[in-house]
Amino acid sequence: MLWIKAFHIISMVIWFSGLFYLPRLFVYHASSRDAKMNERFLLMEKRLYYFVTHPAAALTLVFGIALIYLNGSPILHTAWLQLKLGLVFLLLAYQFYLGFVLRSFSRNRNRHSAVFFRWINELPTLALIGIVFLVVLKPLFS
């Protein structure tokens, strides 16, 4: 079970790297007025989204489900895990929103400023803080 937990943490770190970096790329992309740079940003964004963020999210979910299964179904009734799963659901929604933004950039239909992307770039940080506190302090939430 420790191997699965280790792979869950590793895939989660990789997933978060994509969730942190993709909006940062959007900041630069929204500020760019050069067509060649826009193409380069779009290529970087697509590679990050489809080849890093999506697979890492899938692996995080697979290893997380395996951990829940190995710990038994009573763990699903703990408050800390239910809150954590709620934050994971919000992160998945955030990730799919980033995919929507990516498609708007690819169609030259982005309507958001670099400042907007700077603000939404902070959302995964808040989720990460909440998840870490829930996991570390789970005895307080059981």
Residues ≥6 apart with Cβ < 8 Å to 32: 38, 41
Per-residue pLDDT of the chain (142 residues; tens, 9 = 90+): 899 999 999 999 999 999 999 999 999 999 999 999 999 999 999 999 999 999 999 999 999 999 999 998 888 899 999 999 999 999 999 999 999 999 999 999 999 999 999 999 999 999 999 999 999 998 787 6
Using DSSP, state whether 89 is helix, strand or coil.
helix
DSSP string, 72-124: -GGGGG-HHHHHHHHHHHHHHHHHHHHHHHHHHHHTT-----HHHHHHHTTHH
Contact 134, 80 (CB under 8 A): yes
Enumerate the domain spans of the chain. 2-141
